[in-house]
Structure 1
């Protein structure tokens, strides 16, 4: 009964939202009969502003039919357009005139389609909007065009007129030639969205608008644009606003020049001034600017900036024995390898000789910087063929971190240089941090990685289980969580070993161990249960880079003889940050396998809403940050309510994490949350303890019943 009530309320709410949306559109939404009068059976309230007639006057042709309202000279043409579209099962679009109740002639644009109504009868549904003002603008422009057509057609510069929202109203042959079109008509027909299709750099049209608003004109506005064939050129625009007699906006009008040759010459001069001639990398001049940019970005975002000073080992020997030509080839190869190790926000520069500098941005963990440095050393150490012989070149790396090791480029470079010499003194082909503490962290991380590899070989990782309950506290599922106790390090927290596993590629063998144990446990528990528990396991975003992750999960399911329907895979939105198309394909393959999919940590990212719409997810897990304080902080409660409501509206199962007290449980239950997980119910426990929990509670965790809570 309660669920039926909730569904009824949800239906009413959706109907109210739809009604509000339709009746607030500027124009008239309608449904009419396919008869001689276009008899209206539904019109939105926008009909009155459009035609002067109230809805009651149009429905059933009470006062006038839409056939009568349509201008007599346009009726036959409009009917032909609509009937041809309906006959071929296509949508239609027709522009014509209507006569309003007051006798005013208006130009309208109607778009619609023939559909079958609830009784199976053919009706027409669509939307009609007023385009009188737009038509008047076009008429005014056409009148002005007659006066200036000769000059317009024969100008040597590109000349244009555009609307504010990016549509061409006029273009001359010179502009078509600049943009690579055969004619001005071809340009205007194809290039219908200047903002998205013309400018190479996003946001240039918005800059154009801002300048127009501030000054009424733009002068020498230089931009890189696409030509018709996909190549790009540089242009310079001069433009101004054209106003009507009453000061109303008519269009933008201006001229365009192709400045690609001049721009190319300028870029050559700038490149020679800022780049190393041998490797093409930024030189010392540009490096200083990149470091200052990195410092500003790190300050703004709260991330680390790492400056890495690199000196090649054994370069002098190769340069002296094989000659400068071979030495140059070596430097170019090292430059290419270093560039391949970095992301687009990072910089690799050459200071001169065999000295390079890396500017590494946007790292919030020292571990990730260390992983990158290890990759750099491996890349440099790969064999290099010079003069038909194979050589091995190492490197000594010194690292300085902003803000701990300096607050400007000069100090950071100096400290990175000091650290580089420390690396040379330590035996070369290694890296050293400027600070002792970071060196300690680096050593600890390397030790942790080695310990993890040994633990994976000896199967030392275990799994603990945390139950998920429904609103009646009945256990309906369980989440598998990796645990590791080392003989010397003791209990190592997941937030320490999981990042290392992700950065080193150990996450795949670790996940296989966790899945194998979790699937086997689920099989044992569910053999005796009428309604099986769903086993939830986290999948790291790194696993989506593996070509056979779906096949591996399928193989482990077969090995455990566990139905895929009893498994839920939890992912975070960072899965979609890289190759979203691949993510969709992998998720679709998982759905085809039969598992359910959950988004973990919902509410902590900036784009979760779009993912809920685009990707095949069954469940959302409300992050604990939206639960903590929910019972006494109204803002937290409001956000949680909205998140739950959104999930329910999208027909997702909503799970709350981090439920620690009865007040939180009651609040979330009242808001319609489906499942709950947290210390109020049970901490993560071993497989044996979880089995005892099922036996002792009978599958229902009462407020004081759990011996392990």
Structure 2
């Protein structure tokens, strides 16, 4: 080991087996080097300036460079940029006399792949050299990352309040595995027979670099993973300036492919590899199960709280909304109004035109009612042709009267129901808080009675 000087040679001789001691110093060095090169780990020697002066044969297996290529290179230039600060600090610690037996960092191999290294290093003050043993722990790190990701996804599936929250958490989990300039989730809608993108996050790279939508559709259609390397993207765009890669994997469940998950690499990071593809495929199954579970729970919750015909809040959800509104009104000294509405002669329309036409009428009435109020108000269907509207933060009864007038005008326009043009008028009863009641029951009763008085006066 000529780069380490005579003292290094003497050290080797003193530790050599008896038969090696009979050899000359040069022969001993050659023999030891041939044995050292058999090690799966790499022995690296770095001088005070941070340059490699010796790398055993294991270095080529770990770093991708031959020993000759690494000699003279600055150690820090091969370290992943994100790990350079901690690596330099650790090197200073070692040179000050501290032994570092389990230091971990990441290097960029000659082929661009990232390798995780565990180091055992010490400083030789007499030789002014840093001697270290490098062990490739990439496979172990990948296994640990997979296990951690699976656990995190499972936890997110149970903890996330809704799908948007779950998508955001999946993004965080995947980005810990594969740093990405953009991340997308595409889902296939069985009813609409279409692909939607409920989640997309773009950090640095312009979406114009690649048509992620079209490629996600392809992944969903084929059910196969798609990896586009920089040369593939450049060919698609007819350019030669892209260094990013794109990776999309199908989200598969027991009922088939429900969507796709896609990442775009940072231009200054190594492009995605086959190992990255396998990793994303591995966690995609768990991600698909989490999404499907959340979709089912959201669907069941929606069915429990919304009217299936009009998709308006039902009586249960209205009860929750009005309780919250009453609490705010009492606390802040605000007013609110409750409108109770039904449709005059709706039974006649059902009996004469049929229930399908009656259902279409109810759907269109719901749409027009929602258009008459603010986004903060609530339009609910209690059943049949009965609708209830909650108007929050009403300044005066005049504001409520204006909404009532707006509803009359909206519903007075004919409804086009297939081949039928149908006109229908509502009966509306109003209750004001706090004038007509202090709780939900009192306000609903007062509005219901007022509605029947109105209906009776117009019949």
Using CA pairs under 8 Å that are at least 6 residues apart, name the structure with larger relative contact order, 1 or 2: 2
Q: Work out which of the two has the higher radius of gyration on C-alpha atoms and give 1 or 2.
A: 2
Q: Do they superpose with TM above 0.5?
A: no
Q: TM-score, normalised by structure 1?
A: 0.29
Q: TM-score, normalised by structure 2?
A: 0.43
